[in-house]
Amino acid sequence: MAEAETCFFFDLNTEPAGTRARTSERALAQAVWAYVSMLVGRQVALDELYITNLCNYFLPPPPKNAVVLIPQVQADNGLRELTSALASRLAPPRLIIAMSQQVLFHFVRTKFIAPSSGLDEFLHNSAPSPRIAQAGGYRARKNAAFLSVCGKVFQHDGVPVVPVLHISSAQRKPPRYRESMILAGKNIQELIKDA
pLDDT on residue 2 = 45
* Phi, psi for 155 (deg, rounded to 5): -135, 145
pLDDT on residue 127 = 97
Report the SS3 class of residue 137: strand
How much is the pTM? 0.89
**Per-block average pLDDT, block size 10, for the chain (195 residues)?**
56 67 74 90 86 78 90 93 89 90 96 95 96 94 92 95 91 92 96 81
pLDDT on residue 128 = 96
Whether the CA torsion 93, 171, 72, 58 is positive or negative: it is negative
The span from the CA of 126 to the CA of 146, in Å, is 7
pLDDT on residue 18 = 65
Query: What's the distance, Cα to Cα, between the start and end of the chain in Å?
Result: 38
pLDDT on residue 6 = 58
pLDDT on residue 7 = 67
pLDDT on residue 37 = 92
pLDDT on residue 149 = 97
Give the start-to-end residue ranges of the domains of the chain. Answer: 1-51, 54-191
Report the SS3 class of residue 94: coil
pLDDT on residue 9 = 66
